[in-house]
Amino acid sequence: MTLRRTLALSAAPAVLVLGAAGTASADGHGYRHGDTVRADGTRVTASAVHHTLPSAVSPRGNNSAWVVGVGQCDIASNSDCWSYIDPNNGTPCPSGHFCIYTSTAAGPGVKVFSFYHCTNGGSEWALKDWQGPGLADNNNSGGGHGYLKGVNHNVLVDLAPGGSGDYDFTPVWYVRAC
């Protein structure tokens, strides 16, 4: 047997062991390392994550974002309020609510604004300082659509119940939660 063949045969088991360890790298929850957790708690594989943002838009551009008339509280309550999300696992939008997130991915400082009422005393919810990508999630029950609206209250996004998606919130000035 030649030296080349001997080395090849002895290296084959090591490649199999190392290869198996590399493909089986899970985090104990069945997710591969490198998966991304969205702000709403859903997971996407690293290969499915791709953001095409204009160079002027910061991926964390909504750090100072807020909504007029919305205070901090437990978002699972029948109230209109905001909370910081779980930075590792995200925070799902509660049943019966329409939610907007200040980022598309889970992380420190990301907020969720959870709307239980359609409007703020008859007026659409006014957004302030939203300057980049975020997430909208319509978990309304009873068929209520959620709407992201522009400066003239024109509908930019009509989100049916159960719908969710990443959006550039820069042109969004108002939200109607149902």
State how far the Cα of 162 lies from the Cα of 166, in Å rounded to an integer: 14
First to last CA, the chain: 76
Token pair 């007026």 is at which residue? Answer: 123
Residue 39 lies in a domain: no
pTM here? 0.72
Provide the pLDDT for residue 51: 34
Per-residue pLDDT tens over the stretch 145-154: 999 999 999 9
Provide the pLDDT for residue 142: 87
Provide the pLDDT for residue 53: 31
* Alpha-helix runs per DSSP H in the chain: 3-23
Provide the pLDDT for residue 44: 62
State how far the Cα of 136 lies from the Cα of 146, in Å rounded to an integer: 9
* pLDDT above 60: residue 68: yes
Residue 15 lies in a domain: no
State how far the Cα of 14 lies from the Cα of 73, in Å rounded to an integer: 54
Provide the pLDDT for residue 81: 97
State how far the Cα of 36 lies from the Cα of 44, in Å rounded to an integer: 5
State how far the Cα of 62 lies from the Cα of 57, in Å rounded to an integer: 10
CA distances from 148 to 31, 39, 54, 152, 177 (A): 32, 18, 20, 12, 9
* pLDDT above 50: residue 158: yes
Residue 45 lies in a domain: no
- Per the structure, the complete domain to which residue 105 belongs is given by 61-176
Task: Quote the number of domains for the chain.
Answer: 1
State how far the Cα of 100 lies from the Cα of 144, in Å rounded to an integer: 15
Provide the pLDDT for residue 40: 84
* pLDDT above 50: residue 29: no
Mean pLDDT on 116-134: 96
Residue 171 lies in a domain: yes
Residue 160 lies in a domain: yes
> For the chain, what is the mean pLDDT?
78
Per-residue pLDDT tens over the stretch 70-96: 999 999 999 999 999 999 999 999 999
Residue 3 lies in a domain: no
Token pair 């939203």 is at which residue? Answer: 130
Q: Which value, to the nearest 10 degrees, does the dihedral of the CA atoms of residues 79, 80, 82, 85 take?
A: 60
Residue 149 lies in a domain: yes
Residue 121 lies in a domain: yes
